[in-house]
């Protein structure tokens, strides 16, 4: 079964959930805020997608970080530490199947290719 990682009040997560439900794609929702995220899962995602693709630098959370913190995120280890301590900086949603990331963010065209 697919697992959708995100936070419930995120617009992209809401769009993804609506799309999946409309197309009858079964999934489990994992709320970062309530359940957190493990270092091993973030490491696996980084290996699959690259840490640069997981950090949402366009979001409010990133913009609210001080410049020194932003500038310190230059390695996978630093990125993972940031994502562990501030899950809102992770792009949303991340959807995986059998421990493999199949989609990041909501993009209807990609969802049609992956899920239909």
Catalytic residues: 10
pLDDT over 70 percentage in the chain: 100
Q: Give 79: exposed, middle or buried? Use CB within 10 Å, 0-12, 13-18, 19+.
A: buried
Predicted local confidence at residue 35, as pLDDT: 95
* Tens digits of residue pLDDT in 25-39: 999 999 998 999 999
Helix (H) or strand (E) holding 104: strand 100-104
Could you tell me the domains of the chain? 2-115 (3.40.30.10)
CA distance 12 to 42: 20
Predicted local confidence at residue 49, as pLDDT: 96
Q: What are the angstrom distances between the C-alpha of 72 and each of 76, 79, 102? A: 11, 9, 29
pLDDT over 90 percentage in the chain: 98
Predicted local confidence at residue 7, as pLDDT: 94
Q: What are the angstrom distances between the C-alpha of 86 and each of 37, 57, 60, 110? A: 10, 13, 12, 27
CA distance 63 to 13: 20
């Amino acid at each position: 079964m697919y697992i959708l990682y995100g936070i419930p009040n995120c617009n992209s997560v809401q769009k993804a959930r609506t799309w999946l439900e409309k197309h009858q794609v079964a999934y489990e929702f994992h709320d970062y805020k309530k359940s957190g995220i493990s270092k091993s899962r973030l490491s696996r995602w980084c290996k699959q997608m690259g840490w640069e693709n997981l950090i949402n630098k366009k979001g409010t959370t990133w913009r609210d970080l001080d410049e020194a913190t932003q500038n310190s995120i230059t390695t996978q280890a630093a990125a993972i530490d940031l994502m562990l301590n501030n899950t809102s900086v992770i792009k949303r949603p991340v959807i995986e199947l059998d421990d493999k990331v199949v989609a990041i963010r909501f993009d209807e065209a990609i969802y049609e290719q992956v899920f239909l």
